[in-house]
Amino acid sequence: MGPIAGPELVAAVSNAGGLGVLGCTSMSPEQVRTVIHRTRELTDRPFGVDLILPALIEQDGTKISDVAERIPIEHRETAARIATELGVEQPGGSDNRETGRNALGTDAEAQVQVILEEGVPVFVGALGSPGFVVDRFHEAGAVVMSVVGNTKQAVSVVKDGADVVIAQGTEGGGHTGHVGTLALLPQVLDAVEVPVVAAGGIGDGRGLAAALVMGCEAVWVGTRFLATEEAGIAGWQKDGLVDAADQSPVISRAYTGKRFRLLPNQWTKAWEAAELDPLPMPLQPVLTELTLGPWATDRGGKEGISMNGAGNIVGLVKDVVPAAEVVREMIADATARLDGFRPPAA
């Protein structure tokens, strides 16, 4: 979840008995190393690192400014116009960082190298298949998990070597597919032999209990952790989550070019009104970054333009609490619900 899931949130989740996962996609390799070190200062327990993976990693010296040149002029002008109308000071200039062809324009190969060097025990690949890095993580003794949105993808990533499948239904926050969680889970459970982790619309013990009863090994939670004290987003964003209802999140391609469930704002609405086709990755994210600054998701981001990812479970979020409380309550409530429950004989 990008800088939202930084060392404080990840360590709090791991210390409370969960498995925290750092969202490192938008970070430089040096930043990835720094957040891993910081997390180790805050917890002795296992944690993971998540990257949105490109289809393949190529090191060809491509710079972000080279990618920017492939963005159609109409899109560049539209982004600049919207930014000006919204009073956003555009960073301007050219960006000479190498992209490494990551889906978001950051250097995925160097990020992977750092995660391997640091001996992080769990790697999570979002969007693309982790197939081309699986062997290296296995040689390093790490577990590889892969986020999928449909059964075909689940089968494919397991074939590519993933040890665990995280099946995320469309109601989940962030990048998301088309199939609802309740329909997705039994089909993925039937299709793969590896452990399945349920994701999308799980925010309390009821969701955890339901996933376990269905046969999943665990749950993967995004939206509920956004409204925690440790989440790396601004106070106004947390307030917005508390105020939101189940139908508030919508799907927008404005930030990344791919379907992303979020709370709409002036930026997403203006893009929708412009009726331009979203660009493929990494063009749309690079356009967003060059126009708004780094993702406009940093702590203290700007109201109206900062990305507010959220899933439909957001209506359940009534307060901002410590992350450990979310983990403990979820486990305690699910345990109480499952007390006396007997799974059917195999």
**Binding interface with ligand FMN (CB under 6 A):** 1-2, 4, 23, 25, 50, 52, 124, 126, 147, 168, 171-174, 199-202, 220-223, 309-311, 313
| Single-letter code of the amino acid located at 17 | G
Which residue intervals of 275-343 are DSSP H helices?
A: 283-292, 323-338
Q: How far is CA 273 from CA 176, 262, 267, 276, in A?
A: 22, 17, 10, 8
Q: Answer left, alpha or beta for residue 150, where phi above 0 means left and psi between -120 and 50 means alpha.
A: beta
Least distance (Å) from ligand FMN to the CB of residue 263?
A: 10
Closest to ligand FMN by CB, 78 or 207: 207
Label residue 102 exposed, middle or buried (CB < 10 Å: 0-12, 13-18, 19+): buried
Least distance (Å) from ligand FMN to the CB of residue 289?
A: 15
Closest to ligand FMN by CB, 249 or 293: 249
Least distance (Å) from ligand FMN to the CB of residue 172?
A: 3
Least distance (Å) from ligand FMN to the CB of residue 208?
A: 11
Closest to ligand FMN by CB, 78 or 334: 334
Closest to ligand FMN by CB, 87 or 280: 280
What is the residue-wise DSSP string for 235-287? HHHHHHHHH--TT--EEE-TTTSS-EEE---HHHHHHHHHTPPPPPTTHHHHH
What is the residue-wise DSSP string for 205-225? HHHHHHHHHHT-SEEE--HHH
Q: Token digits for 152?
A: 């075909």
Closest to ligand FMN by CB, 96 or 247: 247
What phi and psi, each to the nearest 5 degrees, are found at residue 238?
Answer: -65, -40
Q: What is the side-by-side order of every strand in the sheet holding 218-220?
A: 21-23, 48-53, 122-127, 143-148, 164-168, 196-199, 218-220
Least distance (Å) from ligand FMN to the CB of residue 181?
A: 8
Residues making up the chain, counted from first to last: 346
Closest to ligand FMN by CB, 233 or 290: 233
Closest to ligand FMN by CB, 75 or 201: 201
Closest to ligand FMN by CB, 99 or 181: 181
Going through the chain in order, the beta strands assigned E by DSSP cover: 21-23, 48-53, 122-127, 143-148, 164-168, 174-175, 196-199, 218-220, 250-252, 260-262
Least distance (Å) from ligand FMN to the CB of residue 23?
A: 4
Least distance (Å) from ligand FMN to the CB of residue 346?
A: 29
Q: For the CA atoms of the chain, what is the radius of gyration?
A: 19
Least distance (Å) from ligand FMN to the CB of residue 78?
A: 24
